[in-house]
Amino acid sequence: MFYSDHGTKGCGGGGGSSVTPSVTPAVTLASLAITPANPSVVVGASQSLTLAGTNSDGTTAYITPTTQVIWTSSNPAVAMVVEGGGAVIGLAPGVVTITATIGSISGSTTLTVPTPTSLTFPVGTNPTSIAIDASGNAWITNFGSNNVSVLSSTGTLLNTIAVGTGPVSIAIDDVSVIEPDGSIGFSGNVWVVNNGSNNVTELSPSGTVLGTFAVGNGARGIFIDGGRTVWVVNRGDNTVTGLSPSGAVLVTYTVGNGPRSVCI
């Protein structure tokens, strides 16, 4: 039974109030945000990007790997979006806008590719070649001072090592080998070609001279293959010498006139 100030009404009486049901609005994607915000990437490097969405009710939108996201760069010549999206590669100095779009909703961020900074580090006289070891150190042959300079990844001079006369090229033995205990490692030894003394110098990763081995005349280029054979090009007598990891001569081949380099 219902009561009112106007008396009692029967169930069939008129004048009763009606109830309007509430309708919950549909939740839709409201905005997109790219992180990290305003990143920077150097020329030649890549930067991963993450996309986050917010729904119209303030909740986090779930963006699945299959969501159709369109990634664009305002200037692909400066920074290019990697196929599939989610990462960009710096190609040239400049500033671009990276945009991600789902349907009619977009989010963007500004990406900067800075101008490379030129740094100069002192080494020996007339440097001719360089190799980078597994620790990121740079080994530089100095033709004029008959030595090798070792620089850290930040440019600090770590070592200066005397080698033969007129070092012109260098290679590092980074081929994986199975150690006696079954583990996989590599020697990391450094091989230097000495053009003036017709030999090669083998150095340990710490710079200790392990041996000096004769090759042909006017030794020039060097390459270490997957079997750890050290190949040296001898420009003066038109030959190529193959050395074992211990420096023993395995083979000498006659090639064309004036060979300068070798690669396998």
Q: With contact defined as beta carbons under 8 Å apart, do 233 and 218 qualify?
A: no
Segment 98-116 shows an average pLDDT of 95
Segment 209-227 shows an average pLDDT of 95
CA distances from 227 to 5, 113, 119, 172, 179 (A): 104, 41, 37, 14, 15
For residue 247, give both structure tokens: 């420096």
Count of helices and strands (H, E) across the chain: 0, 23
Q: What domains are there in the chain, each with its CATH number?
A: 29-113 (2.60.40.1080), 127-254 (2.130.10.10)
For residue 189, give both structure tokens: 């030894």
pTM of the model: 0.60
Q: In this structure, what DSSP letter does residue 40 have?
A: B
Tally Cβ neighbours within 10 Å of residue 52: 14
Segment 53-77 shows an average pLDDT of 89
For residue 185, give both structure tokens: 């490692």
> Strand 94-102 relative to strand 105-113: parallel, antiparallel, unpaired?
antiparallel
Q: With contact defined as beta carbons under 8 Å apart, do 198 and 216 qualify?
A: yes
Segment 240-254 shows an average pLDDT of 96
Q: pLDDT value at position 41? A: 95
Given a cut of 60, whether residue 4 has pLDDT beyond it is: no
Give the chain's mean pLDDT: 89
Given a cut of 50, whether residue 233 has pLDDT beyond it is: yes
Segment 64-89 shows an average pLDDT of 88
Give tens-digit pLDDT for 145-172. Answer: 999 999 998 899 999 999 999 999 999 9
Q: pLDDT value at position 119? A: 82
Q: What is the dihedral of CA 139, 140, 141, 146, to 10 degrees?
A: -90
Weakest mean pLDDT among 49-53, 61-65, 176-180 = 176-180
Q: How confident is the model at residue 13 (pLDDT cuts 50, 70, 90)?
A: low
Given a cut of 50, whether residue 7 has pLDDT beyond it is: no
CA distances from 109 to 30, 99, 141, 221 (A): 17, 7, 44, 47
Q: How confident is the model at residue 2 (pLDDT cuts 50, 70, 90)?
A: very low
